[in-house]
Amino acid sequence: NFFLSDPKRSWEEMKKIFFTAMDQAQPNAAHQVLAKLENKGLLEGVITQNIDGLHQRAGSKNVQEFHGTIQTLSCLHCDRKYRLEDVDLTQVPPTCLCGGVLKPDFVFYGEGIPPRAYENSTQLALQADVMLVVGTAGQVMPACSLPLAAHEHGCKIIEVNPRPSSYTGQITDLYFPQKATEFFTQLDKIMEL
């Protein structure tokens, strides 16, 4: 694991890549309409591979962050958790009160999926009557297995993707070749959410 071998360099790179961009990111129409659907009881939950917390900021409650989140950090020594906004990121790497290095609670290459996220996501997929598959190529394991498992249990798959994915023509029942924001803006108008 690169993070464990060089936490300082890892944090320097993460600050450039993630934290600057994440500070400016805002929920878009797709995030907002998914939250509206959930709030009206039309959507059971969201399974996301994104780590940005935008679904929650848009108002979604049942969000399974399959690859973890950038919104919290954990101490590698004592496991204490911190909210991102409570951590001084000017010190690299940031440290816990115990002196241990803090690591963001998202999955790094070679790490396993958080067990609770995996279990909850699998349960949502297997209980779904309809699954919206939005903006994924369907290539990253084990996340790409969730729509397949849902389909095997009789779930209808609606795919929203500008380009065909590994699901299109295989398990997709209804395909919308659109960007997520375009599709959900139209859905919002049609359903008068």
Angle CA 52–34–163, to nearest 5: 75
- Strand, coil or helix: what is 79? coil
- Tell which residue, 90, 87, 118, 115, has the closest CA to residue 103: 87
Give the C-alpha separation, 92 to 72, whole Å: 16
Residue type, 139: Q
Cβ 193 vs Cβ 36: under 8 Å: yes
Tokens 């279990």 -> residue:
119
Strand order in the sheet with 81-83: 81-83, 68-75, 102-106
Active-site residue (options: 67, 77, 151, 153): 67
Asked if 153 is an active-site residue, the reply is: no
Give the C-alpha separation, 34 to 54, whole Å: 11
Q: Which residues are marked as active site? A: 67
